[in-house]
Amino acid sequence: MDTLFNTKFEGDPASHSQPGVQLKSSTYDLQESNVNLKLTIVSTVGFGDQINKEDSYKPIVEFIDAQFEAYLQEELKIRRVLHNYHDTRIHACLYFIAPTGHSLKSLDLVTMKKLDSKVNIIPIIAKSDAISKSELTKFKIKITSELVSNGVQIYQFPTDDESVAEINGTMNAHLPFAVIGSTEELKIGNKMMKARQYPWGTVQVENEAHCDFVKLREMLIRVNMEDLREQTHTRHYELYRRCKLEEMGFKDTDPDSKPFSLQETYEAKRNEFLGELQKKEEAMRQMFVQRVKEKEAELKEAEKELHEKFDRLKKLHQDEKKKLEDKKKSLDDEVNAFKQRKTAAELLQSQAQQAGGSQTLKRDKERKN
């Protein structure tokens, strides 16, 4: 992009360890002579870096649709200011293809197929100095064949305008463009030119014998910029707008081929919405009632279990209390019996002592006599 617009755009290189695809948008105000250009560049950071690439195209499609939706919302306003509106719709998608020399990756085919109805796709072979001239020619033919066989519609430069029909027809045959980028200038002959220096030689960015960079710049900026914007508005945006309005219930004519009334459509859509809302409210109410009943049943079951547990504990307590009372009674009986035996023993012992004392006195008398 720096090479294409001969400037230095701000931004740090993104890492290849992103968990998903993120779209980074930056807007710049460019000026060359008396021509002003508001340029928005959107980078697909992390595209193709994940192990699972199945949904890599979704953030891109969602971003493009979001720009269409923003424009549609502005267009549907009562007081529109489209002449001052900053149009963020994507007018061109430069789809870079790795210079493998073999064939397109399945990710490339799937993504371009998802995008071809939403944006003008211009396929580009990046770092084209990585493969030889003969391999590059075969690679271009292979890519074109695969795009056609998979039904991918890339942007074709228009040939209906006689002033550009010849050059655009010639350029269409050169698609996909094989490009090289460089902001470094090297002295070649008596001129300073953008080029890349290698041990085996120098690759000139603006030399058409070395790459298609000049062709891309001519087609993209100088010849077909307005057509890219027009195609975006009349083809891709109109398709999105039509699908969106049909989804909302709007049509050009009713089943009887009479002009379609916007008021009737609005009322019908409003009634339909209110009906759906009422159904949802009723469903939510029924669900709430059902959940309350289920909760009440759960609480009753829990209460029943608590009562049963309380009754079990109460019965267990009563049984334990009865056992303790029986044991206490038994111990009391044993204590009473022990006391009776002790009293009897003490009485016998007292009687024995008295009897012994009497005999001793009798003997003492007999001795005296």
Q: What pLDDT digit, counting tens, does each position of 301-313 carry? A: 999 999 999 999 9
* CA 349 vs CA 151, 230, 344, 357: distances in Å: 128, 136, 9, 12
| pLDDT for position 262 | 61
Lowest-confidence pick of 198-207, 235-244, 268-277: 268-277
CB-CB contact of 240 with 118 (8 Å): yes
pLDDT bucket at 353, cuts 50 / 70 / 90: confident
Prediction pTM value: 0.69
| pLDDT for position 359 | 77
Distance in angstroms (rounded) separating the CA atoms of residues 118 and 237: 7
pLDDT bucket at 268, cuts 50 / 70 / 90: confident
Q: At what angle do helices 58-75 and 238-247 cross, to 10 degrees?
A: 80
Residue 356 has pLDDT above 80, yes or no: no
| pLDDT for position 259 | 59
| pLDDT for position 263 | 67
Residue 257 has pLDDT above 60, yes or no: no
